[in-house]
Structure 1
Amino acid sequence: MMKTQLAFNRKIKKKYINLSYFWIMNILTQTPRLIIRRFKAAEEEMYLSLYDDDRVMQYLPFRSREDHIQIFREHLNAAPAGDVTGRWGLFNTEDNDFIGMCLLRLFDDGSDNIELGYAFRYEYWGKGIASEMTDTLLSCMLTVNPAAKFVAVTDLENTASQRVLEKIGMKRDGNYFRNGIELAMFRL
């Protein structure tokens, strides 16, 4: 499925077709099952509800509701067209159901590495969505910036996310400390 998406993106680029439609619609990329797009202002409560579930928060750093509101608003349509960094909403293509969020951002170690992250509603865990989303997101980013270098960090106990990262070709590269917390680090 992803190879088709990547081939589609490259075909568009080669034919010099303007991708403005996707940027106007705030869609980063899409597969037959998933849409990755910018959040809309009206979706703030939906976004915040993701962090109300203790199962989702199990492997994420604690942030207050006010912190999540600030993060949401900072990323709301903040990036110019063509910029793939930021927080993106992940939705089911079939019924537009909210699945979760994913992000691409500069890694906090001062390098030019781009960090991949995500959080999904619990009912979407274990359905292959994380693998599909990460593969789609990385392929999209490499289409935009073929020289991009990717990293991801996850809780040491989050073996499911570690398997997802390994499945898409990322390799374990020791541990990384963020805010005093030791995390498993992966590189592509």
Structure 2
Amino acid sequence: MNEGLILQTTRLRFVMWGEGDAGLLRQLHSTMATTRYLPGNAPWSLEKAEQRLRGWFAEQARDGTTKYKLLAADGSFIGRAGISRFGSDEFELGYSLREEAWGEGLATEAASALASWFFTRELASGLIAFTHPENVASQRVLRKIGMRERAPILIDGMLDTAFEMTADMRSENPGA
């Protein structure tokens, strides 16, 4: 039941992806609603999902962190969430949930747990996140966990809203 368990909260389990999980990832990003704020702004193909998984396996091996498969307490698949290296010297928090899981506070629970886990492991002194400028719900999540807005960042030709958190900021807001 806890095979590959990375992190657990009351309602969520973060586990490493398996070799056969590309279909789940493609399913997660199979609608315009779940991809409208992602680069490319289009549903993912199975090939793209497989490519992302290969990248996440490599990140986990290299950095000890990546985007993980996110499961509900009952074991059902609800999305992905984790922290990946961004560029050469920063780490980026990211998450994406199935539409059925929206509005239940799960993104906030996942983001908060990941921030605490990241700083407890002392992987770096800071963490960033960015969102499409129209993704107000995700911006609200990042503010709720104690991240603060910083200068926008250019990602794939789009000026995204960017956030940051340091270990000191997290220790000031540990329950978020």
The TM-score with structure 2 as length reference comes to 0.83
**Whole-Å Cα distance in 2 between the matches of residues 179 and 135 of structure 1?**
27
Selected match of 2:48 from 48, 59, 67: 67
Alignment of 1:138-149 (within 5 A): 138-145=115-122, 147-149=124-126
Summarize the Cα distance change of 1:78–1:180 in structure 2 as closer, same or farther, 3 Å threshold. closer
Whether the 8 Å contact between 1:142 and 1:148 is mirrored in structure 2 is yes
Deviation at 1:76? 3.6
Whether the 8 Å contact between 1:29 and 1:35 is mirrored in structure 2 is yes
Alignment of 1:26-175 (within 5 A): 26-62=4-40, 64-65=44-45, 66-76=47-57, 79-80=60-61, 83-93=63-73, 95-108=74-87, 110=88, 112-145=89-122, 147-175=124-152
Summarize the Cα distance change of 1:76–1:147 in structure 2 as closer, same or farther, 3 Å threshold. closer
Deviation at 1:146? 6.5
How large is the RMSD of aligned CA atoms in angstroms? Answer: 2.0
Runs (4+) of structure 1 moved beyond 4 Å?
none
Deviation at 1:78? 6.0
Deviation at 1:67? 2.4
Instruction: Structure 2: give runs of 5+ residues left out of the alignment.
Output: 166-176
Whether the 8 Å contact between 1:84 and 1:104 is mirrored in structure 2 is no
Deviation at 1:75? 2.2
Deviation at 1:46? 1.1
The structure number with the bigger radius of gyration is 1
Instruction: Structure 1: give runs of 5+ residues left out of the alignment.
Output: 1-21
Whether the 8 Å contact between 1:38 and 1:77 is mirrored in structure 2 is no
The TM-score with structure 1 as length reference comes to 0.78
Whether the 8 Å contact between 2:39 and 2:156 is mirrored in structure 1 is no
Compare relative contact order (CA 8 Å, sep 6+) and give the higher one, 1 or 2.
Answer: 1
Deviation at 1:28? 1.3
User: Percent identical across equivalent pairs?
Assistant: 32
